[in-house]
């Protein structure tokens, strides 16, 4: 195997046009089934759908000034859902996202959209994370330290 594996989290964001019609029911069933499968193998930690941006707001800083604008946002694309995966490589996260998008391709003819697969910073990305020793011993919980010097 070519790539070093490590436990990583990826946030995936599904983006697509504001649909004129609701998605076909077959697609929703297939998405639920895929989600159950990804959960069963320990890869999917969390997922949820997002309401249209019309129900949200945007808070911005531009030119040193803060402004708040209620949705809908001007962009043609809406963020439709998110998922948080815990996987062993970027390629695994991409594979889950691909399976998810193939369902859209196969069950919703004409639909177009994208999933951004973004790495969540983890302890492995922090300075001083490399190979630091943990507490010794193999007690049932964190082994007791010598206790606070009180």
Partner 1 sequence: MDEGGSAAGPAADPRHVVETVWRMESARIVAALARIVGDLGLAEELAQDTLVIALEQWPADGVPDHPPSWLMATARHRAVDLLRRQARYRRKLEEVGRATPAAVEPDLAAGLDDYVGDDLLRLIFTTCHPVLSTEARVALTLRLLGGLSTAEIARAYLATESTVGQRITRAKRILAERRIPIELPPPAEAAARLASVLEVIYLIFNEGYAATAGDEWMRPTLCGEALRLGRILAGLAPHEPEVHGLVALMEIQASRTAARTDRDGNPVLLPDQDRGRWDRLLIRRGLASLDRAAGTLGPYVLQAEIAACHARAATAADTDWDRIATLYAVLAHVSPSPVVELNRAVAVGNAYGPQRALPIVDGLDLPGYALLPAVRGDLLARLGRVAQARREFERAAALTRNARERELFVARAAALGRTPPRSGQRS
Residues in contact with partner 1 by CB under 8 A are 1-7, 39-43, 45-46, 84, 86, 88-89, 91-92, 94-95, 102, 122-124, 126-150
Distances (CA, A) of 143 to 130, 132, 136, 149: 22, 17, 7, 17
Classified as helix, coil or strand, 23 is: coil
C-alpha 94 chain-centroid distance: 11
What are 119's strand-pairing partners?
10
With respect to partner 1, which residue has the nearer C-beta, 109 or 145? 145
Q: Are 115 and 101 in contact (CB under 8 A)?
A: yes
Rounded least distance, CB 122 to partner 1, Å: 8
With respect to partner 1, which residue has the nearer C-beta, 52 or 81? 81
Tokens of 105: 């391709």
Rounded least distance, CB 62 to partner 1, Å: 26
Rounded least distance, CB 22 to partner 1, Å: 26
Q: Are 48 and 82 in contact (CB under 8 A)?
A: yes
Rounded least distance, CB 72 to partner 1, Å: 26
Rounded least distance, CB 85 to partner 1, Å: 11
With respect to partner 1, which residue has the nearer C-beta, 45 or 54? 45
With respect to partner 1, which residue has the nearer C-beta, 79 or 89? 89
Sheet holding 77-87, edge to edge: 44-49, 77-87, 8-17, 114-120
With respect to partner 1, which residue has the nearer C-beta, 64 or 144? 144
């Amino acid at each position: 195997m070519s790539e070093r594996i490590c436990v990583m989290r990826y946030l995936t964001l599904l983006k697509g046009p504001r649909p004129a019609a609701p998605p076909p029911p077959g697609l929703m069933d297939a998405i639920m089934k895929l989600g159950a499968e990804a959960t069963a193998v320990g890869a999917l930690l969390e997922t949820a759908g997002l309401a249209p941006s019309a129900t949200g707001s945007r808070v911005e800083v531009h030119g040193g000034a803060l402004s708040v604008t209620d949705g809908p946002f001007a962009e043609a694309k809406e963020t439709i859902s998110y998922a948080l995966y815990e996987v062993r490589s970027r390629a695994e996260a991409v594979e889950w996202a691909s399976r998810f998008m193939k369902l859209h391709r196969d069950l919703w003819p004409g639909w177009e959209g994208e999933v951004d697969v973004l790495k969540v910073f983890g302890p492995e990305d922090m300075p001083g994370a490399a190979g630091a020793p943990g507490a010794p011993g193999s007690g049932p919980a964190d082994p007791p330290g010598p206790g606070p010097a009180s």
